[in-house]
Amino acid sequence: MTASRGQHLIGKMLGSCVLEKLLGYGGSSAVFLAQQQNPTRKVAVKVFLPRASMDIRMQRDFYRRFLREAEAVSKLEHANILPIYSYGEQDGLPYIVMPYMPGGTLAEYMSRRGPLSLQEARWYLEQLAAALDFAHQHGCVHCDVKPANILLDSDGHVILSDFGIARVTRPASDPADATDVKHSEALLGTPDYISPEQALGHHLDGRSDIYSLGVTLFFVLSKRLPFRADSTIALALLHVHEPPPSLALIRADITPLLDRVVRKALAKDPDDRFQTAQELSRAFAAAVEVGESRSTTTHPPELAFLDDEKYLASPAAQPLPPTPRPIVRVKPTWVREWSSTRIKRGILILMALMIIIATTGFSIKLMNGTTSRNHSAPTNIAARTTVTPTPPPMPTSPFALPGNWPQGTNAFFDQQHRYHIINTQAENAMPAPFQDYQVQDFKLSVKMLEATSKKGSPDFHGVIFRVAPDQSFFYLFEVSPRDNQECVFSRFSSSDPQAWYTIKNRRSAALKSGIGESNTITVEARGNTFFFSINGVPWLDQPLADPSTRGVKPGQIGVYVENQGEEVIFSELTVGTLK
């Protein structure tokens, strides 16, 4: 697509509207500022442009479907739905005439302001949920919920636009619907926000919009999409098969409850999602309130699904952070945690793809979940035929790319470009993975300064590395300066019967123990042997061999702070690849 797509229509009259300016364009449409002559007013006109790949039959079916459903959608009257003034077809171009909203879109607002606060997201979600539920009750599925289709007015209200391509819900057995899906499915929806059933060409209902709303919620809270790929087919495969990454590892003030709410909205099976948009909105609001009050009481009714064993065991819910409960120390698991006596391991349900065009797939790097000292084993993720793209080289100074680190009120860079992590969570550590990079044999060095610590509690903090894409394997090296100068090197492997294995636990006299003291740790990983030093002093007399027989694979690196009330400042992080 070129930037001039739709420019040739400027000056053209569609109905009673003269197209004056191209406001934006998408895969199959362009939006224009137009002057309507009767009545006289400025309007927005969306024109659907045929793609070069569409044959005559596909164009005819699409236009017929568009005109039939635009008629139904034009009858929707709701405060948070952009009305349709008129619609029609002229010179083979279907078009919709809508009010012009000079306030712009939510996507444009975020480009200026960054991720939304939790309260902003709650306010906008409440309005969007009301709009979607109203549309669903009147038999319309939006099919393209995304920030670019959410408009803002001067009073802070949101208006859902582009209902013109919504489909009218009808029984899945309706042959007319099946015909339309076959020929126009690819034109409806945006790959970044598409639901699994929409990607597969299955029958849609309002729960498809709830999935897209979940992707939208993920984006407005993190300013990144849960899935990224180089092609539409690749994105479709991710939406169908891959669990989303954890928001808690991307944004520091996302609590485990909020993470679970978003994950339920992004469940692969529509039956495992919230069944209405209002259910999602109420659960999100309840999770925000619980997080702000730091309540450890029973979940409110809106969060009752968190206690549903069926939900906890479903593949769509994996990986999940643990629910809060009293523990002494915490460890990262990056996969949902459960009691081995209560919940069986989930089984990933492979959905049959209608898109049979490729002999290879792909994988993405995922860093999911929060932490627990109980060391529960992550759920195995079923093997898939994938081709892992070659990652970019690991930068020697990862802190030079602040956008790849989680940031928020509890994780941020200061003016000296040092990275602060403040753990305010009572039962969870705060891991910070360096996103989108993997290393195998490397030498890592980082300076850690413990700025504050909760009196009478351990103060473990350190580094994480070689985290596998499916979270089935990773290493931890942690130090506790005030806890007998303890240093611990651990390995997690889902293939081991006990999952967790402490490779070495030994004190280091080189570890400075005072608040405000800096400690520099160095990790050198080469194959299955490791060398650690603390403030330039070797932790052990010789390299430490990992007795695991598992093959060495690359993975992500990161840092973490384990205990509530502890603030650690990380600086001078360097990584070099070993040959």
The residues carrying an active-site annotation are 144
Phi-psi region of 505 (alpha: psi -120 to 50; beta: other; left: phi over 0): beta
Report the distance separating Cα 265 and Cα 102, nearest Å: 31
Tokens 């070689």 belong to which residue? 466
Two structure tokens written together for 256: 């485990």
Q: Give dist(CA 415, CA 395) in Å, integer.
A: 21
The alpha carbon dihedral of 78, 79, 82, 84 has a sign of positive
Nearest CA among 23, 164, 27 for reference residue 96: 164
Residue 84 burial by Cβ neighbours in a 10 Å radius (0-12, 13-18, 19+)? buried
Q: Are 241 and 351 in contact (CB under 8 A)?
A: yes
What's the burial of 405, exposed, middle or buried (CB within 10 Å: 0-12/13-18/19+)?
A: buried
Burial status of residue 426 (CB atoms within 10 A of its CB: 0-12, 13-18, 19 or more): middle
Mark residue 74 as left, alpha or beta (left: phi above 0; alpha: psi -120 to 50; beta: remaining).
Answer: alpha
Q: Is the CA virtual torsion 50, 51, 52, 58 positive or negative?
A: negative
Question: Torsion over CA of 434, 437, 440 and 445, rounded to 10 degrees?
Answer: -40
Cis-peptide, bond into residue 256, ω within 30° of zero: no
268 is in an annotated binding site: no
Phi then psi dihedrals of residue 259, to 5 deg: -60, -40
Query: Which residues are annotated as part of the binding site for ATP?
Result: 46
Query: Which residues are annotated as part of the binding site?
Result: 46
